[in-house]
């Protein structure tokens, strides 16, 4: 039995050696017949071994399949189910509530719609990537919608935080002066600003690695991002030291400031609420406690908890992606070389080490981006008493 097994292994080895080109004889089982023959004729000038480059190329393709296709699709389906369910619950509550309670749900509905649009966009990206790659028109649309989604979600995060703070600190103004029409106007202004800013991000060329790093660079390298990654075909001359590097630094600084401003607003509002809560406790200790005062204390506590959870959700989805973009900026010189010249099998093979970095960045950005979309409806559902009461009622009635 053992002899037969060794004989079969020997035959398999002999068959592989007959089909493997001489340059890949040191790694016959890494070579894939019918697919890797085109790499045997590539001229290696940087001193790397053919087997090392072939292994890195296969590693990059595995990251691309699982990191940007399989895992993101699974996570996106879960995120889509949660956000569609969350949207249906929000609409049901919005139609039942009075005008003062509708204000917050109006912004939540807007944010959830932006998230669903982003998920649909991800499916379009994957389909186009698998079908025929990207063209200028498709890249322009992806950059436009991607930037629109990012700015819309960021704007609604800020608006919701200020709205919640106003409802707690200035309840009279919130109930009497701030109407539902003002909320509609504010949402329209956020959408208008997001659209204008997104259009300004679209450049007159496609960029090389969008199909791999789209979740990160759709927001980080929108403004002149194509110039950074496709300097040869850009409409303007952009050298690395004189244009690309300073531009990348400015983009990352701008993105950092936008993320930092949102987190700073959250932190400032939480601190203000904490100070107000302490003052309220001191005044209550000097006076007689009542059910009304206790309810106000609980309202303050719930507001702080909700703001804290929203800040955590935003940080989970933004800070890791910012780190990924900083890493991409540090390696911009090597990554931008992937967009120089025409794409070919030999170029992919010779730059396989760089493509591994690109796929790791893509997987990290896509997975973190989708996890934030999963956590957002879960956290906001857990923090909303009305939604939790509706869910418990549905469970009691056997809807689930």
**Bigger pLDDT: 317 vs 37:** 37
Estimate to the nearest angstrom the gap between the alpha carbon of 381 and the chain centroid: 21
Is residue 26 included in any domain, yes or no?
Answer: no
Domain-located, residue 6: no
Q: What percent of the chain has pLDDT over 90?
A: 4
Angle subtended at Cα 255 by Cα 250 and Cα 261, rounded to the nearest 5 degrees: 120
Q: pTM of the prediction? A: 0.73
User: Would residue 228 count as lying in a domain?
Assistant: yes
Q: Is residue 212 part of a domain?
A: no
pLDDT tens-place string over residues 266-295: 788 778 877 877 776 666 555 555 555 556
Tokens of 159: 């608006």
Residue 51 inside a domain? The answer is no
Provide the domain limits for residue 253: 71-199+220-388
Please state, in angstroms and rounded to a whole number, the distance separating the CA atoms of residues 221 and 329: 10
79: CB partners within 8 A, 6+ apart: 115, 119, 370, 373, 374
Average pLDDT over residues 53-70: 82
Count of domains for the chain: 1
Residue 393 lies in a domain: no
Shortest CA distance to 294 belongs to which of 305, 280, 304, 308?
280
Strand, helix or coil at 93?
A: helix
| Other CB atoms within 10 Å distance of the CB of residue 95 | 9
* CA atoms of 299 and 42, how far apart (whole Å): 68
- pLDDT level of residue 381 (50, 70, 90 thresholds): confident
Would you say residue 378 lies in a domain?
Answer: yes
Radius of gyration of the chain (CA): 27
For the domain that residue 136 is a member of, what is the CATH number? 1.20.1070.10
In a domain, 100, yes or no: yes
Question: 129-144: per-residue pLDDT in tens?
Answer: 666 555 444 555 555 6
Task: Give percent of the chain with pLDDT exceeding 70.
Answer: 68
How do residues 314-347 score in pLDDT, each as one tens digit?
Answer: 777 677 667 777 777 777 776 666 655 566 788 8
- List all residues 6 or more positions away from 92 whose beta carbon is below 8 Å from its beta carbon: 390
Q: How far apart are CA 337 and CA 208, in angstroms?
A: 9
Dihedral angle over CA of 261, 266, 271, 273, nearest 10: 140
- Identify the band that residue 17 occupies on the pLDDT scale cut at 50, 70 and 90: very low
Q: Which two tokens stand for residue 275?
A: 């100070």
């Amino acid at each position: 039995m053992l002899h037969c097994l060794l004989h079969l292994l020997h035959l398999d080895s002999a068959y592989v050696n007959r089909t493997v080109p001489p340059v890949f004889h040191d790694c016959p089982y890494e070579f894939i017949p019918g697919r890797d023959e085109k790499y045997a004729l590539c001229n290696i000038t940087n001193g790397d071994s053919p087997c090392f480059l072939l292994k890195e190329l296969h590693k990059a393709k595995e990251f691309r399949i699982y990191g940007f296709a399989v895992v993101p699709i699974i996570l996106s389906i879960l995120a889509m189910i949660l956000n569609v369910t969350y949207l249906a619950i929000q609409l049901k509550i919005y139609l039942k509530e009075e005008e003062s309670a509708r204000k917050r749900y109006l912004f939540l509905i807007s944010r959830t719609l932006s998230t669903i649009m982003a998920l649909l966009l991800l499916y379009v990206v994957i389909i186009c990537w698998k079908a025929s790659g990207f063209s200028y028109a498709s890249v322009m649309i992806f950059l436009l919608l991607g930037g629109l989604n990012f700015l819309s979600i960021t704007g609604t995060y800020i608006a919701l935080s200020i709205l919640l703070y106003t409802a707690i600190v200035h309840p009279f103004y919130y109930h009497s002066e701030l109407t539902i029409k003002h909320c509609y106007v504010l949402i329209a202004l956020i959408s208008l600003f997001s659209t204008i800013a997104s259009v300004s991000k679209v450049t007159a060329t496609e960029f090389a690695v969008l199909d791999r790093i789209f979740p990160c660079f759709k927001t980080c390298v929108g403004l002149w991002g194509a110039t950074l990654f496709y300097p040869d075909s850009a409409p303007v001359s952009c050298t690395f030291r004189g244009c690309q590097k300073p531009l990348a630094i400015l983009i990352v600084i701008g993105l950092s400031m936008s993320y930092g401003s949102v987190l700073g607003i959250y932190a400032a509002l939480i601190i203000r609420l904490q100070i107000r809560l302490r003052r309220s406790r001191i005044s209550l200790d000097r006076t007689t406690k009542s059910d009304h005062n206790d309810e106000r204390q609980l309202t303050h506590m719930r507001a702080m908890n909700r703001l804290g959870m929203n800040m955590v959700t935003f940080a989970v989805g933004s800070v890791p992606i910012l780190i990924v973009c900083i890493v991409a900026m540090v390696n911009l010189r090597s990554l931008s070389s992937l967009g120089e010249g025409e794409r070919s099998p030999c170029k992919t093979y010779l730059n396989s080490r760089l493509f591994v970095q690109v796929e790791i960045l893509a997987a990290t950005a896509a997975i973190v981006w989708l996890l934030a979309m999963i956590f957002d409806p879960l956290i906001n559902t857990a923090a909303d008493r009305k939604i939790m009461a509706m869910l418990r009622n549905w469970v009691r009635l056997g809807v689930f």
